[in-house]
Amino acid sequence: MEHNDQLIDVPRGLSGVAVAETAISDVRGLEGFYQYREWPATELARTSTFEEVWHLLVAGHLPDPVELAGFEARIAAARQLPELGEVLDAASAVPGPDPVAGLKAALPLLSARLGMRPVYDLDDEGRLTDAVTLAAATPVLLTGLHRRRAGLEPLAPLPGRGTVAQYLYQVTGHEPSVAHERALSAYLVAAMDHGFNASTFTARVIASTGADVASCLAGALGSLSGPLHGGAPARALDSLDEVGEASRIEPWVRGQLATGRRIMGFGHAVYRTVDPRAVLLSGVARELGGPRVAFALEFEQTVERLLAELKPGRELHANVEFYAAVVMEQCGIPRELFTATFALARTVGWTAHVLEQARDRKIIRPSARYVGPPLAVPVGDAAH
Active site residue 86: no
Distance (Å, whole) CA 49 – CA 350 = 18
Distance (Å, whole) CA 147 – CA 171 = 7
Sequence-distant (≥ 6) Cβ neighbours of residue 332 within 8 angstroms: 168, 171, 172, 176, 180
User: CA 327, 329, 331, 333 torsion: positive or negative?
Assistant: positive
Contact 59, 70 (CB under 8 A): no
Contact 162, 245 (CB under 8 A): no
Distance (Å, whole) CA 68 – CA 73 = 8
Catalytic residue (choose from 146, 268, 317, 353): 268
Calculate the alpha carbon distances from 355 to 67, 111, 129 in Å: 19, 16, 10
Contact 113, 314 (CB under 8 A): no
Q: How close are the terminal C-alpha atoms of the chain, in Å?
A: 21
Active site residue 268: yes
Contact 51, 162 (CB under 8 A): yes
Backbone angles phi, psi at 277, to 5 degrees: -70, -35
**The 25-28 sheet, strands edge to edge:** 25-28, 33-36, 39-40
Calculate the alpha carbon distances from 175 to 165, 205, 342 in Å: 8, 40, 21
Give 24-72 as a 3 state SS string.
Answer: CEEEECCCCEEEECCEEHHHHHHHCCHHHHHHHHHHCCCCCHHHHHHHH
User: CA 93, 98, 99, 103 torsion: positive or negative?
Assistant: negative
Catalytic residue (choose from 72, 300, 321, 356): 321
Q: How many beta carbons lie within 10 A of that of residue 264, not counting itself?
A: 21
Q: Which residues pair with 25 in a beta bridge?
A: 36
Please identify every residue annotated as catalytic: 268, 321
